[in-house]
Amino acid sequence: MSMDMKKIVASLDELKGKTQKRKFKQSIELIMPLRDLDLKDPANRINELIELPNPGKNGAKVCIFAAGELAVNAKRNDIDMIFGREDILELGKDRKAAKKRLSGYDFFISEAQLMPLVGRHLGQVLGPRGKMPTPVPPTVDVGDLINRQKRMVRVRVRDQLNAQCKVGDEDMTSIEIAENISAVISLIERKLEKGSRNIKAIYIKMTMGPKLKIET
């Protein structure tokens, strides 16, 4: 599907003009209903991490399970939350509370030696959401990893014929968001069996606003 950047930018400008301002910064979502895919076949399911060219000021929220030097380095590198060994054990005592506590984070990193503990106590919370941590050695350049994950969005297609993810915030320029949209669509097309023919339509919306179709 060859997307005209001018059409995407024009659609974003229209969306911003139509959507009522709120007291908080609204996100902009990309929504793509799909068709002609048998999701019972695992080959047709999608679970992709996509690095956005323009993550904006409020990128993805990243949490790390770490102790010692890795935890210290994470603190120096704009990590959103650090949980140590005792925190993992405490979270594991109450699944409902753990789900609530962890729901605000988009991506998780774990020191490799803590992964068995995370799996045992938090696997049932993180696993079904596709958010099991990326295991890393204590010597990893955690700053680079955090910065990369803050640029990422995840697109999952498992049970419903619909691909959706955040592509920006309302204070970003329409050109920046359009570049993000183009990057997401391009990658998803490559993962679909019939490419653009599996994409039924493309919509954008703000957090509290109606959908707007992008004409292709």
Per-residue tens of pLDDT for the chain, all 216 residues: 667 899 999 999 999 988 878 888 899 999 999 999 999 999 999 998 999 999 877 788 999 999 989 999 999 988 999 999 999 999 999 999 999 999 999 999 999 999 999 999 999 999 988 899 999 998 889 999 999 999 999 999 989 999 999 999 999 999 999 999 999 999 999 999 999 999 999 999 998 888 999 987
Domains and CATH numbers, the chain: 5-57+151-213 (3.30.190.20), 62-149 (3.40.50.790)
Q: Is 133 left (phi over 0), alpha (psi -120 to 50) or beta?
A: beta
Helical pair 142-150 and 68-75, crossing angle rounded to 10 deg: 50
Contact present, 82 and 66 (Cβ < 8 Å) = yes
Comparing CA positions, the residue from 53, 13, 11 lying closest to residue 31 is 11
Q: Write down the pTM of the prediction.
A: 0.82
Provide the edge-to-edge strand list for the sheet that holds 27-33: 162-169, 27-33, 203-206, 212-213
